[in-house]
Amino acid sequence: MTVRAGEPIGVAVLGSTGTIGDNTLDVIARHPARFRAIALGARRDHAKLLAQCLQFRPEVAALVEPEAALALECGLRAAGLPTRVLVGESALEEIAALPQAPYVMAGIVGAAGLSSSLAAARAGKRLMIANKEPLVMAGPILIEAARAGGATLLPIDSEHNAIFQCWPAGAETGRAPPGVRRILLTASGGPFVDWSAEAIAMATPEQACKHPKWVMGRKISVDSATLMNKGLEVIEACILYGLPIAQVEVVVHRQSLVHSLVEYVDGSMLAQLGSPDMRTPIAHALGWPDRIDPGVQFLDLARAGVLQFELPDTGRFPCLALARQAAVAGGLAPAILNAANEIAVAAFLEGRLNFNGIPAVIDSVMNAVSAGSVKDLDSVLAADGAARSAALRAISEPRAARAR
């Protein structure tokens, strides 16, 4: 990966029409002399992608769905922009490997972001990982691809970015340095943190998507409400930082100002604090090792007042326990967990499954689908497919939809 001195660094933004994409482009726009959006990619939102192309004038734009790509191309030609349009499942992989974009923001939600993240890793990019699913599904494969390709992996999740900032300098991805006792991932608790089990059982998609602190997409908002988001982050932390599950813990921190902590064997505990704004970790990853202005509100500790921490309640939120179970099992178990969760959350958002049906479906799938070792990408994709089929079967059973 080469960056010419004095020229803006080319950035490819995968998932540009989502929340991560919006925030990434906002930071890029604040530093036009330093960064340039070379390529933008999404799945289907051609109208928003066209607006982004009009503002940032990328060399390449990609959409997975053919009809959406055609609409984008028509809009670009009408505006007189020469942006080249790529289409299809491989389009995101192609822009992830563009030589003129040495930085890649991986913000495609779900398993759909796996292939493009791997393409960026193999191409030796600075891969800024905002989509946790590729690491959860195929962490060893992605880490090895990054090592072989000479890529740099930088986490964008506020929690993992916080750990990175508190981690010893020069530590290698996937290998824990000496002196670390444990990691503590903070969780806001989600919108239902004070709800009774009975009330949680009746939660609607609209209620689940109203996060008390963060502005996020619908899928990740539901994951936050179930605490599955935190469970996936536990698995991700084990992979990124080379720690066993016993050394990765979760604490509920309702203020969402301490984004995570690292405890060392000498008793020192380092924490990263900041306002709950995704532009902070995005700017950190773009500018690293330098610090750049993300345009966020600075944290006023005196005004923030008391910082509270408490243990999560896995009785009301069993998804966290299911994720830890998958982490202990290892191998393909995290991929099976992730696939079942994606199907269950989609069914909940569509009104085909109630809130408690989400962990019920995941538990059923984890018991039904055998989890072997991660041999290669094909083994991961096979487990993912089997888990999705099992989840769809479970949702069709009345007892899953009625889970309480």
Residue-level pLDDT at 3? 57
Summarised one tens digit per residue, pLDDT across range 321-341 is: 999 999 999 999 999 999 999
Nearest in space to 42 (alpha carbons), one of 16, 12, 75: 16
For domain 330-404, which architecture applies?
Orthogonal Bundle (1.10)
Answer whether residue 314 shows pLDDT above 60: yes
* From 204-213, 218-227, 248-257, the region with the lowest mean pLDDT: 204-213
Answer whether residue 402 shows pLDDT above 70: no
Q: Mutual orientation of helices 133-149 and 377-396 as an angle, nearest 10°?
A: 170
Residue-level pLDDT at 398? 62
Answer whether residue 172 shows pLDDT above 50: yes
Q: Mutual orientation of helices 158-166 and 279-287 as an angle, nearest 10°?
A: 50
DSSP E strand stretches across 282-380? none
Residue 45: phi and psi, rounded to 5, are -80, 80
Structure token pair of residue 191 = 């919108």
Percent of the chain with pLDDT over 90: 88
* From 9-18, 104-113, 192-201, 321-330, the region with the lowest mean pLDDT: 104-113
Contacts of 388 (CB under 8 A, 6+ apart): 339, 340, 342, 343
Residue-level pLDDT at 399? 57
Distance, CA of 255 to CA of 257 (rounded, Å): 5
Is the separation of the CB atoms in 110 and 337 below 8 Å?
no
Answer whether residue 16 shows pLDDT above 70: yes
* From 152-156, 161-165, 175-179, the region with the lowest mean pLDDT: 175-179
Distance, CA of 112 to CA of 134 (rounded, Å): 9
* From 67-71, 208-212, 233-237, 347-351, the region with the lowest mean pLDDT: 208-212
Nearest in space to 15 (alpha carbons), one of 217, 223, 225, 233: 217
Q: How many helices (H) and strands (E) does the chain have?
A: 18, 11
Distance, CA of 149 to CA of 117 (rounded, Å): 12
* Alpha helices in 212-278, H assignment, sequence order: 218-226, 228-241
126-129, strands of its sheet edge to edge: 84-87, 60-63, 35-42, 9-14, 103-106, 126-129, 152-155
Residue 6: phi and psi, rounded to 5, are 90, -10
Residue-level pLDDT at 308? 95
Distance of CA 129 to the CA centre of its chain: 7
DSSP state of 247: G
Residue-level pLDDT at 28? 98
Structure token pair of residue 310 = 């408490």
Residue-level pLDDT at 211? 79
Average pLDDT over residues 189-212: 93
The CATH homologous superfamily to which domain 9-155 belongs is: NAD(P)-binding Rossmann-like Domain (3.40.50.720)
Summarised one tens digit per residue, pLDDT across range 361-378 is: 999 999 999 999 999 999
Q: What's the angle, vertex CA 126, arms to CA 124 and CA 131, rounded to 5?
A: 110
Distance, CA of 151 to CA of 143 (rounded, Å): 9
Q: Where are the domains of the chain?
A: 9-155, 157-191+205-316, 330-404
Average pLDDT over residues 74-88: 97
Using CA atoms, how far residue 391 sits from 137, 185, 211, 364, in Å, is 16, 28, 26, 8
Answer whether residue 9 shows pLDDT above 80: yes
